[in-house]
Amino acid sequence: MKPSVRSLTRVLLASFLVATSVPATCQGQSTSRSMEDPKSPKLNLPDPLISNAEKRIKTAREWKARRRDELKDLFERVMYGKIPAAPEEVDVVTQLVDKRFLEGRATLKLLQLKMGPGNGPKIDVLVVVPNQRLGPAPTFVAMNFCGNHAVVSDPRVPLSKGWLYSSCKGCESGRATEASRGSQSKDWPIEELMARGYALVSFASSDIDSDRADVSDGIYAWLAELDPLFDNRPHDRGTIAAWAWGFSRVMDYVVTDRDLDPLRAAAVGHSRNGKTALLAAAFDERFALAIPHQAGCGGTAPSRGKKGESVKQINDRFPHWFNAKFKEYNEETGRLPIDQNCLVALMAPRPVLLSNAEEDTWANPEGQFDVLRGAASVYKLLGVEQSGLKKRPPIGTLLKGSLGYYVRPGKHSMTSGDWAVFMDYADAHFLKKFD
Ligand code: GCU
């Protein structure tokens, strides 16, 4: 689903990095098909079951009562900044319900979540639910880059009002135009989702925060305006945390819609949106499953090690995604009290699929397998034994366990083929279909 200009930027950036002779291992330039690199040093990821007081967590009870909160606190303090609290006021404005969408196969709902008090974020939400079903539909809750109007081409979907990426097709000076309608519909296979019984709930990241480095127009600016005592220092905020807040606000709606199954909702996102989907689901246990797709550094890839994008590179280029404290680890990731295996562990015992593309070495698919393995002890403690973690599965083979893993051939993008895999994975866990 990623607009082509962004992939082009990635290719150009990669060539620039090679040209400036930064060590190749840091840039993920390898094109080798080999799935394992026997020369990789061991990562020494932190053990999620050793508490801050250096005590071993031995029971599921201790994990739930103590260690989960400790880890959440660490992630907010040293990396993402705080995920703001739920707003005091939310007005759900239903703009359209069409039960005859897609020739009667689906229901289309358009609504807006208006946060208050004052002039809070307004999140446009697109809901498409299959009409043929026995009960509430299992649901993918997915944050998009280019607006709901780009996901489906129906002219009734309001054009996104937020600032949009220049790589979003048909957008001019950051604004949506009629020409941008349906520009991503090929990569969001609504018909297939409906045919397989899944609902899609989608919203645009820019309705929560427009990804500017000065964080001038998002939720944090609104909260600071409302309350002069609100802590809006760079130590306490980050755009990924802001977007994760958005996921939870949309989930607040999902649990009230009787067409959607509140117990079978999956958080989905691609790239920076994938980092967000994982953070949101790790913290908000109402999400029954998470699919962070090609999320890479700051999401599903380890901060430690020398493969793919480094902590310094991501902090230099996107300083606003993480809090100020995270910058202190640029050169010394080994000092981080957490790594991303601890974030995946916060998903336990819920299923999480780390899905990737073979050529997207910037996102470090290999290191992501280590991240999964580094979370397995927590799943085990909570009663989920996972097989298949000794060796990465071959390219194109989906590891369907609760610690799911998948690498397909190709580049960084989210395509309808990826959605087919997301549905296979969700089928395994939501419908108990393992074959
Ligand atoms: C850049 C960044 C990645 C991020 C990606 C995206 O490539 O380095 O960390 O995942 O942008 O979100 O598009």
The pLDDT score that the predictor gives to residue 233 is: 85
The pLDDT score that the predictor gives to residue 24 is: 25
Rg of the chain over CA atoms, in angstroms? 21
Q: Rounded to whole angstroms, how far apart are CA atoms 220 and 210?
A: 11
Options 248, 271, 303, 355, the catalytic residue: 271
Ligand 1 atom nearest to CA at 313? 8
Known active-site residue 149:
no
The pLDDT score that the predictor gives to residue 39 is: 59
CA 18 to chain centre: 28
Mutate to test the pocket of ligand 1, among 362, 364, 368, 413 (most ligand atoms within 8 A of CB): 362
For residue 137, report the distance from its CA to the centre of ligand 1, in Å.
Answer: 32
Tokens representing 391?
A: 């060796």
The pLDDT score that the predictor gives to residue 38 is: 53
The pLDDT score that the predictor gives to residue 210 is: 92
Q: Rounded to whole angstroms, how far apart are CA atoms 433 and 103?
A: 29
For residue 271, report the distance from its CA to the centre of ligand 1, in Å.
Answer: 6
- Report the run of H or E that residue 107 belongs to, with start and end: strand 106-116
SS3 263: strand
Mean pLDDT by 10 residues, the chain (435 residues): 40 34 26 47 92 97 98 98 96 98 98 96 98 97 98 97 93 94 98 98 97 85 89 89 98 98 98 99 98 98 97 97 97 98 98 98 98 98 95 97 98 98 98 82
The pLDDT score that the predictor gives to residue 2 is: 40
Write out the DSSP string of 321-373: GS-HHHHTTSS-GGG-S--HHHHHHTTTTS-EEEEEETT-GGG-HHHHHHHHH
CA 109 to chain centre: 23
The pLDDT score that the predictor gives to residue 181 is: 97
pTM: 0.92
Known active-site residue 412:
yes
The pLDDT score that the predictor gives to residue 307 is: 97
SS3 238: coil
Options 149, 270, 293, 412, the catalytic residue: 412
Q: Which domains does the chain show, CATH number per domain?
A: 89-430 (3.40.50.1820)
The pLDDT score that the predictor gives to residue 42 is: 80
Alpha carbon nearest to ligand 1 atom 9, residue: 297
Residues with CB under 6 A from ligand 1: 6, 10, 271-272, 296-297, 309, 314
Q: Rounded to whole angstroms, how far apart are CA atoms 255 and 317?
A: 36
